[in-house]
Amino acid sequence: MRPVHVLGASAALAPLVAALAPLGMAPLIVVTALAALAMRICRARNRPWRPLAPIVLFILLATLGLLSALWAIEPLAALRKVMQLSGLLACGVVVLDAAVALGADDRQRVGRWLAYGLVAALAVLTVERFAGFPIRYLQHQTLLDPTALMIPYKRAMSALAMLVWPAALALWRVRRLYAVLIVTATFGVLLVFSSDSAQAGLIIAAVACAAGWAWPRAAAGTLAAVLVAYIALAPMLHAGILDPKTMGLKVVDGELTAPILPRSGYHRLLIWRFTAARIAERPVLGWGLESSRYLPGGRTLMDTAEQAMPLHPHSATMQIWVELGLGGALLLAILVGWILGRIRGAAWPRPDKAAALALFASSAVTASLSYGIWQGWWVATLLLAAACAAAIIVPLRQDPEPTAG
């Protein structure tokens, strides 16, 4: 067995696991990392670990999280989370290292298997949706409201909105039409499952892909500048400028309506306003890792029935600021700058840069709107998507010619 077999199997399984049991993404990356590490040891490879920059940043993040337990609201919760997070980040390093070491032929194999897995996942989800959710029914053995049945698939939609881009890149090299079809099919599945954040992520990713194709260096540089500026200014923006009461909201017949934002979007603005207030109280050190759910006033109901802090801020930037303070925000800005700087300066073919920008944009949108950034399945999904991209991208100066499609 070779690393390509491990990574290929993981790439094929990732979309299916994301579709049917997204919490299984964490065990998947652990098993993949253990297998890759065993092969690295057995082959007595002396090459350095790559890429180095994320390894250093991950170590600094884990160290900061560990130190934050000293002043966290719930120190034991911080310690448990830093242990889980450190394990997942270590697994991500091992899988990324194996991915970047693949040869050209092996990269094509991993790309093919990812595409097969994504097609299978889309097919299963389509049957599930239009056949009355038979898989979900088998799990619950009871009839549930159709809207409630859709909720567990939100995680799946977010994962597929990211994994589609490295899969599309692999298919682009075979036939361009296949790449267009798989992105279109993925968007269709996101529509029927009514996942707003995943749909937004895919649409913005498509724009980033087009910009990355037309102006790869300028697109990556602009995105980096915008995101780093937002990370730096987010607490101030949400404390004052992005006021929920001035975002197109109004009262009609005694009911608060949001002609610009859906109710969930309005709730997020309220959450971010509350989070910004807590950041202002401890801007340097933060409240400690995993402290969002314990923040003072977090159970307060805002406006009508919106909770001030429903477990986490639904924003990676705001969660890192409120929990890890200035140091965490700085590490996040460095990580974002490094990734986009790597895309901007790398000698990759044009399609590879476009796909990498699309994957990053989709991940950034979802991380900015949904999920706690430290959730194990979400960290594993981000790392697996990055590993798939690292395995498939061809670091050549020449753009391989696809078959006409």
DSSP per residue over 30-94, as a string? HHHHHHHHHHHHHTT--SPPS-HHHHHHHHHHHHHHHHHTTT-SSHHHHHHHHHHHHHHHHHHHH
- Per the structure block, which two tokens stand in for 217? 């260096």
What distance in Å separates the CA atoms of residue 173 and residue 179, rounded to the nearest whole number? 9
pLDDT for 310 equals: 85
pLDDT for 41 equals: 82
Q: Is residue 298 included in any domain, yes or no?
A: no
Residue type for position 365:
V
Q: Is residue 283 included in any domain, yes or no?
A: no
What distance in Å separates the CA atoms of residue 157 and residue 159, rounded to the nearest whole number? 5
Q: Is residue 402 included in any domain, yes or no?
A: no
Q: Is residue 262 included in any domain, yes or no?
A: no
Detail the DSSP E strand segments found in 289-385.
301-302, 306-307
**Alpha helices, H only, 133-236:** 134-140, 146-150, 154-172, 176-192, 196-214, 216-236
pLDDT for 364 equals: 94
pLDDT for 400 equals: 42
- Burial (CB count within 10 angstroms: exposed 0-12, middle 13-18, buried 19+), residue 307: middle
Residue type for position 193:
F
Per-residue pLDDT of the chain (405 residues; tens, 9 = 90+): 788 899 999 999 999 999 988 999 999 999 999 999 998 888 766 677 777 888 899 999 999 999 999 999 999 999 999 999 999 999 999 999 999 888 888 888 999 999 999 999 999 999 888 877 777 767 665 555 666 667 778 899 999 999 999 999 999 999 999 999 999 999 999 988 877 888 899 999 999 999 999 999 999 999 999 999 999 999 998 887 666 666 545 555 555 554 556 667 777 888 888 899 999 999 999 999 999 999 888 788 776 667 888 888 999 999 999 999 999 999 999 999 999 999 998 888 899 999 999 999 999 999 998 889 999 999 999 999 999 999 998 664 434 444 444
Q: Is residue 264 included in any domain, yes or no?
A: no
What distance in Å separates the CA atoms of residue 288 and residue 149, rounded to the nearest whole number? 35
pLDDT for 284 equals: 94
Domain span at 364: 3-231+314-392
Q: Is 316 helix (H, G, I), strand (E, B) or coil?
A: helix
Q: Is residue 56 included in any domain, yes or no?
A: yes
Question: Could you tell me if 172 and 351 are in contact, meaning their C-beta atoms sit under 8 angstroms apart?
Answer: yes
What distance in Å separates the CA atoms of residue 128 and residue 218, rounded to the nearest whole number? 42
What distance in Å separates the CA atoms of residue 248 and residue 303, rounded to the nearest whole number? 15
User: Could you give the number of structural domains in the chain?
Assistant: 1
What distance in Å separates the CA atoms of residue 93 and residue 59, rounded to the nearest whole number? 11
What distance in Å separates the CA atoms of residue 198 and residue 159, rounded to the nearest whole number? 8
Question: Could you tell me if 136 and 152 are in contact, meaning their C-beta atoms sit under 8 angstroms apart?
Answer: yes
Q: Is residue 147 included in any domain, yes or no?
A: yes
Q: Which helix (H) or strand (E) holds 339?
A: helix 316-345
Strand partners, 252: 255
pLDDT for 40 equals: 83
Q: Is residue 212 included in any domain, yes or no?
A: yes
